[in-house]
Amino acid sequence: MRLLITGSNGLLGQKLLARLHQEPGVALLATSRGANRLTQWFPEVDYQPLDVSDEAAVQELLARWQPTHLIHTAALTQVDDCELRPDECWLHNVTATAILARACAAQDIHLTHLSTDFVFDGSYGPLKEDAEPKPISHYGRSKLAAEEAVQATPGLRWAIARTVLVYGVLLGGGRSNIVLWVRDSLRAGKTIKVVSDQWRTPTLAEDLAEGCWLIARQSAQGIYHVSGREFFTPYDMALRVAAHFGLDAGLIEKVDASTFTQPGKRPARTGFIIDKAEQELGFRPHSFEEGIDIVAGQA
Ligand SMILES: NC(=O)C1=CN([C@@H]2O[C@H](COP(=O)(O)OP(=O)(O)OC[C@H]3O[C@@H](n4cnc5c(N)ncnc54)[C@H](OP(=O)(O)O)[C@@H]3O)[C@@H](O)[C@H]2O)C=CC1
Ligand SMILES: Cc1cn([C@H]2C[C@H](O)[C@@H](COP(=O)(O)OP(=O)(O)O[C@H]3O[C@@H](C)C(=O)[C@@H](O)[C@H]3O)O2)c(=O)[nH]c1=O
């Protein structure tokens, strides 16, 4: 198996490298835009800079390296930035995915494409794979258009892994996650406002990487919901983090999402039913409690 990963500097990309860099029988090529930010942790992993919105570069690298499988994690994932810079968002999330899909079809490379709960409008959840998408943000619309581009590519063997509110430790710093944000704020005695009118099935980044690997290894095809199993509000999550570390939950202020004025609208109720991934792929995510422990052990 020759597996190429896009967006390897990102959270999921890193976890895929961690999971697969010593997997027997797998030749791995990590790619992301710009320099490799992970050399110090994975010095033996081959790396090529690749901006996936550059069609000529994508075609050249795929023809040269000849992957059998590709996991496409690269995307613009800052929901508010996507709202404020819609053209840039479309280029990196939609145009780039269409470029990859065409290139994979031309070489019969199995493509696993990453997508999101934000393709849904948040009117009900948890959701199955066949629920009707209806995005309410530009990020969500771009991710849905990318899904459609994948599905419409003739001759492509594809899987779409949709996921939800991913938490995990990002090597080399960068964006935090709900577990460390709550832990570190409470430790510092800071009050935090946490929403109690959004519902999610939070996903440990390591579990998502495992789910993607299960898809690629089996060359599975179709849409899979790959997330945690437990359905919580961020407020519930924050209380659990406080209890786990013995911190003062009195610092957690329960608020409605309407208190935040964010450019990108967030769906209220999402979360996934993951029966299909469990039954067809053998996916077994950790509980949120176990996930807190894993994250805390890394930072
Ligand atoms: N994180 C989450 O909560 C969720 C994520 N997802 C989806 O999962 C996938 C992975 O997300 P995650 O790892 O968290 O995201 P990150 O933002 O951590 O990583 C994405 C990576 O993609 C890179 N990238 C962006 N544009 C390009 C490009 N044109 N060419 C090459 N690389 C590019 C970014 O580079 P740089 O670092 O230089 O900006 C970044 O390193 C995404 O498709 C996302 O939409 C879905 C639901 C929830
Ligand atoms: C910053 C902040 C967040 N929250 C809550 C709201 C939200 O549900 C959760 C995470 O907030 P963020 O703004 O970090 O995340 P957000 O941009 O909403 O996260 C999304 O990212 C993209 C990439 C996805 O595809 C989605 O699955 C999704 O989880 O924490 C608070 O309650 N208080 C706060 O001060």
Mean pLDDT, the chain, rounded, equals: 97
Tell me, in angstroms, the distance from the centre of ligand 1 to residue 250's CA. 34
Residue 265 is predicted with a pLDDT of: 96
Is the pTM higher than 0.95? The answer reads yes
36 in ligand 1 pocket by Cβ < 6 Å?
Answer: no
Residue 48 is predicted with a pLDDT of: 98
Tell me, in angstroms, the distance from the centre of ligand 1 to residue 74's CA. 4
Residue 176 is predicted with a pLDDT of: 82
Which residue ranges of the chain lie beneath pLDDT 50? none
4 in ligand 1 pocket by Cβ < 6 Å?
Answer: no
Going from the C-alpha of 223 to that of each of 15, 107, 151, 252, 274, the distances in angstroms are 21, 22, 10, 37, 11
Residue 172 is predicted with a pLDDT of: 83
Tell me, in angstroms, the distance from the centre of ligand 1 to residue 115's CA. 10
Atom in ligand 1 nearest the alpha carbon of residue 167: 3
Four-residue CA torsion sign, 156, 159, 165, 170: negative
Q: Is 48 exposed, middle or buried (0-12, 13-18, 19+ CB in 10 A)?
A: middle
**Which of 266, 269, 288 gets mutated to test ligand 2 (max ligand atoms within 8 A of its CB)?**
266
Closest C-alpha to ligand 1, atom 41: 10
- Ordered structural domains, the chain, with CATH: 2-168+202-229+272-287 (3.40.50.720)
150 in ligand 1 pocket by Cβ < 6 Å?
Answer: no
Residue 117 is predicted with a pLDDT of: 98
Q: Check if the beta carbon of residue 249 is closer than 8 Å to that of residue 242.
A: yes
116 in ligand 2 pocket by Cβ < 6 Å?
Answer: yes
Residue 110 is predicted with a pLDDT of: 99
Q: Report ipTM (2 d.p.).
A: 0.98
Residue 112 is predicted with a pLDDT of: 99
